[in-house]
Amino acid sequence: MSLIQSAGIQSLKEGLSKLKERFDGTQGEPYIVESNKFKALYFDSESTQSLMDMQAPIRLVVSYTETMMGFLLFHTDPRKIAMIGLGGGSLAKYCHHHLPAASILVLENNSKVIALKDKFHVPQNTAEFQVLEADGAAYLRNTEEQFDVLLVDGYTKLGQAAQLCSEDFYASCLACLKPHGILVINFSGAAGLNQVYQERIDRVFDYPSVLVVEDDRMNQILFVSNGSDLQASAEDLLGRSSTLSKTHDIHLARTTQNFLNQRKLDAS
């Protein structure tokens, strides 16, 4: 979820104003709004759940999704990735395309969101790419699978799903991470509440998390590792960012600098 700064935002807003009376108050049922350049997923007219460039469906349009891909700085070649929250499939599509060696599991509990996945060019299920209708918290609590990377971006019309904010959930995340695995969570909303969530995470994990504030101030992206990976030197991270940027056009330099700035603040 984010405020979108793009050439197509005005036409999207105009479309939303016409659709507001029809869709608001429909208990969070997802719907699509299209302009000439973009296709957007909404639960209501207040916030964008996902945004796709019609000419480049795999490109990450919303800045917070680029920041979430910052896990590459710490795990450059993940083989097992799990995601909670499908939305329009932006992260799932990007990882499927740019990390072909990775097995990807996407957990989405809203069947109506899953029903729209073809409209956002989300790949069909295969042995290596699965979109499952499931409660992400319950799935992690009951599985014995382990992952290199776990991405959490689960929202409803009312905000972040409550079952994805508890200390028990964060313990399940830790149990599902391989050694040196990376957990990345998109937080949107009150900074004070996000700090409470971060404190819960830090009680569960042995290594401190880093909460990066997006440039638009609407999202905060939390990184935490099942290892000391987030303490890599600034020189190493900048070098990795430079190397990765040759194959990933996702503003990794910006993410790296924001991460390093926040880590420095946390240490002061």
Residue 180, amino acid: H
DSSP output for 215-249: TTSSEEEEEEESSSGGG--HHHHHHHHHHHTTT--
Residue 222 structure tokens: 């939390």
Strand partners, 39: 34, 52
Task: Report how many helices (DSSP H) and strands (DSSP E) the chain contains, helices first.
Answer: 9, 12
Residue 119 structure tokens: 């409209």
Question: Residue 23, class by beta-carbon neighbours within 10 Å (0-12 exposed, 13-18 middle, 19+ buried)?
Answer: middle
Strand partners, 29: none
Q: How far apart are CA 201 and CA 174, in angstroms?
A: 9
Closest of 35, 74, 67 to residue 181, by C-alpha: 74
Which of 153, 202, 206, 266 is flagged as catalytic? 153
Secondary structure of residue 42 in the 3-state scheme: strand
Is residue 118 among the annotated active site residues?
A: no
Residue 34 structure tokens: 């299209």
Which amino acids are annotated catalytic?
153
